[in-house]
Chains A and B, each alone.
Chain A
Amino acid sequence: MQSTEINRPREPQQQPAMHQWFETLRLPLLTLTGALALTSLALLSTGVSPLQAYRILLFGAFSSPGRSSDMIMLAAPLLLCATGLILTFRTGLYNLGVEGQLALGAVAAMLPLRLLPDLPAPLLWTLCFACAATGGALWALLAAGLRLYAGVSEIFAGLGLNFLASGLALYLVLGPWRRSGSASMSGTELLPRDLWLPTINTLRLAPLAPIIAIAALAIVWWVVRRTRWGLELRAVGLNPGAADRLGVPAHRRIAQAMAACGFLAGMAGAIQILGVFHQLIPNISSGVGLLGLLVALLVRADPRWVLPVSVVFASFTVGSVQLPLALGVDSSIAGVLQGALVLFALLARGLLARPG
């Protein structure tokens, strides 16, 4: 992605009103049209009415309190990851390691739970989040270090570290942390009920999770819009060499952006442990990091849109669970729609950016 394009100032006042509307709307219109066309094609090929499928995908997550809370509990870690990625995208980094940072955060969150289970729950949760955030940040710094000192692109460093982190989770689940008397990939022993994040009965909703995620978004929003540090990240993203010469410590900012993203991804890992799965499972990230990357790509790291798009993506995923029962179509169509949206957003941007 051309970093200069992300933050190109718009000058709409120079254009007539109609044209201005068109200018603002043609990108989302093109994106939506393309994505819906592709997804509809996929749906039609299986003989399913696209309208019914879209109704379930869009509104299914809001059709019952239980589904809405499932959506919120998916949106919370997703929002944390996407929020962290705002920072790395602005710095011109593709932090594909976010999955691994989440997984390592989850593993780190297990440490206090296993070592100090007798502490009062609130203290234990605080420790869990602190450990998870630290773990995620250190894992991200490893990728940053590889990029800065070994010349390994953060993309490949991140991918490699993802494998390592999920391998570690797998080893722990099957080895030292396995359930007594068994060895199964299905996960560690379920946490005792009183160590779960306070959960509204029968809803599976832990209100702390979305609160933490929204607070994180607010802080990051303020940081990128209102602080010098945020501005410097952008400068590094636009041109690290030039930023360096102008007195911005580019290396340090790159490391900091990565660490901050890992910090937030690690928090998401703690939410997966304490609020969602209540145990460590091999696939603890459950693709939330990747989904976060799609969100960040779609909104071009603009903090204004991260929350709504995260909610929409989480709704697709949760709503899609009903698809097989209601329409006989596999729920993976949600992933197709999510992917298609981002794909067409990028295509549309590319087309519209062409001169003439």
Chain B
Amino acid sequence: MRPSHHWLLALLFAAALLAACGQQPAAPPTTAPAAEQPTAAPATAAPSPAAPVATPAATTSAPGEYVFGMVLVGPINDGGWNQAHFEGARYVETKVPGTRLIYIDKVNPADRPNVQVEQAIEELISQGAKFIITNSAEFADGTNIAAEAHPDVYFLHASGDAVLRGVAPPNVTNLMGRMEYGKMMAGCAAALQSEAGKIAYLGPLIDPETRRLVNSTYLGAKYCWETYRGKPADSLAFKVTWIGFWFNIPGVTLDPTRVATDFINEGYDVIISGIDTTEGIVEANKASQAGKTVWAAPYDYREACAQGEAVCLGVPFFNWGPRYAEIIADARAGKFTPQWEWIGPDWSDINNPETSMIGFVKGPALTAENAATLDEFIGKLADGSLNLFTGPLNYQDGTVFVPAGQVADDKTIWYTEQLLEGIEGQSAP
């Protein structure tokens, strides 16, 4: 063996082994107890990566047991989107007796390069799953393909719209929360607290969902900036930077940590997160500890403020559990109805864990005065006296989104084609 090649071979192995060992979750660990590794999850105990938790190989559904599976795009402990789904599934286990969750997380080309969503679904079905939840927009095609191949299994594609578009097999249903309201609250909180009048939005990839959420944030911020701060809309800077995916994939997406620090260095004093993970609040917290004045609004997961209590203005979150429980109980009883559902908060108590699909937990960093103002704003949204999707609203390129005097309907909002006038950032029409 030529000496120079020893090194190269060693390098090759190091690379191969590293690749094999997979990548760490993009997010820092959260305080919530969660397994590091994907595991089959028993109904009664918390998952522990150290112990095998299911009888291997055999199709393991006990008589009378209803096994449901979940395919997640990111790790179950990401402190955001995926953790919210995972806890929603756990909620089902506690509310619908006899159900048991099995799941595969991190189904994405970086963490599992050779696993497609159809394959993950097959594995869950072969382990006895009768109902499958897929939780990412990227899973739309794969969910439909798997559903066609398994007409006896029910599917819920969260955040999808295949039923609305009429392309879903009859055993697929769609569910999404009206996070638009949550984002308006986050935008309002940001506008109330910002000293610089500069709000930054840490965006994931660009699609109709992410565009309408950025627009909602902006509308909330603009309204509160004008109404409660008494300042003109054009004195509010609102910028979005897209990283390219739902979370950091080194070498593929922009690094959200880097994007967040850039925001701070450019003088933005509120970072609103639209990605699955918590880099926005983590970096804001670091900058704050270093003496800068900066706040953050994380996203998706109820407990996300825990990543930086001192800078957290509040978190708009999804509460998937209650509706998941109803849909799965119905499916089990043979009453599955495919539909495209877009569910808003329970306005009588938006943070009620038993009833509200969308909530907003105010963060410790929001001043008492601003918290009171935000409550007033939420009150207006709740009683319907304020609808921010009222025209005139223009897209970035000047074309009309909602004409003057009209209110946008659900489909117009769902399929938002561009960012709104006044937002700095790419629309990718």
Contact = CB atoms under 8 A, between A and B. Distances in A.
Nearest to A281: B109
Interface in A156-209: 166, 170, 174, 178-179, 181-187, 190, 201-202, 204
Nearest to A70: B119
Interface in B17-65: 17, 19-22, 35, 37-40, 47-54, 56-57
Interface in B204-226: 205-208
Contacts of A343: 13
A186 B141 contact: no
B262 interface: no
Contacts of B349: none
Contacts of B126: 64, 66
B417 interface: yes
A326 B56 contact: yes
A327 B56 contact: yes
Contact of A346 (B9, B38, B249): B9
B262 to A, nearest CB: 19
B240 to A, nearest CB: 12
A229 to B, nearest CB: 25
A21 B295 CA distance: 72
B116 A277 contact: yes
Contacts of A49: 52
A325 B114 contact: no
B8 A94 contact: yes
A182 B102 contact: no
Contacts of B15: 290
B56 to A, nearest CB: 4
A309 to B, nearest CB: 15
A56 B251 CA distance: 32
Contacts of A46: 49-50
Contacts of A277: 116
Contact of B205 (A1, A48, A66, A184): A184
Contact of A328 (B9, B54, B118, B123): B54
A324 B20 contact: no
Contacts of B54: 325-326, 328
B386 interface: no
B417 A325 contact: no
Contact of A182 (B120, B127, B205): B205
Contacts of A342: 13, 16
A53 to B, nearest CB: 9
Interface in B136-174: 137-138, 141, 149
Interface stretch (A81-89, A125-133, A220-228, A331-339): A331-339
A200 B124 CA distance: 21
Question: Could you say which of A2, A174, A185 has the most chain B C-beta atoms within 10 Å of its C-beta?
Answer: A185
A170 B9 CA distance: 28
A338 B16 CA distance: 9
Interface of B: 1-2, 5, 8-9, 12-13, 15-17, 19-22, 35, 37-40, 47-54, 56-57, 102, 104, 109-110, 112-116, 118-120, 122-124, 126-127, 137-138, 141, 149, 205-208, 242, 244-245, 249, 251-253, 417, 426, 428-429
8 contacts: A94-B8, A183-B207, A190-B141, A283-B113, A317-B114, A325-B39, A326-B54, A328-B40
Given A66-B126, A94-B8, A325-B127, 10 more contacts: A56-B57, A183-B428, A184-B138, A184-B207, A202-B149, A277-B116, A322-B57, A324-B40, A325-B40, A328-B40
